[in-house]
Amino acid sequence: MSGRTATLLMVALITGCSPKITNLTANPKHYYEEQVEVVGRVSRMHVFTDEVLVELADPREHRILVRVPAKDKPKIDQWVEVRGPFVAELRVGDRVVYDAIAAEEIDGHRKPWFSNLF
């Protein structure tokens, strides 16, 4: 493997393929109705009867809202990986939120390495 190929492979592994919280909040229209996968720290949450509205923050404190089923409720300050469609409008309890993720899966995750590298 040449040095150039190894460098390109390393950059691809570090940056990843899925959009980051920053991309979703900067240009939300581009990602509407797409399946997304993001990693973030649970900074706040509001519990409703059968669902939870979670605010995820990346290492640089960019934030996004996520609707999670109550049975999968994470803990505050826990790092999680969320998968689901990114939607323009989402109803959570009696409230409507905009530019949010309707989580289909949520798993625990480690804090990102080199979080302030890029």
Q: What is the DSSP string of 37-50?
A: EEEEEEEEEEE-SS
Question: For residues 112 and 79, what is the distance between their CA atoms, to the nearest angstrom?
Answer: 9
- What confidence tier does 19 reach under pLDDT thresholds 50, 70, 90? confident
Alpha carbon dihedral 9, 24, 90, 97, in 10-degree steps, equals: 140
pTM score of the predicted model: 0.79
Q: Which residues of 16-34 are buried (b: 16+ CB within 10 A; e: fewer)?
A: eeebbbeebeeebeebeee
Q: What is the mean pLDDT of the chain?
A: 85
Say which CATH class 18-108 falls into. Answer: mainly beta
Q: What percentage of residues in the chain have a pLDDT greater than 90? A: 63
pLDDT band at 34 (very low <50, low <70, confident <90, very high): very high
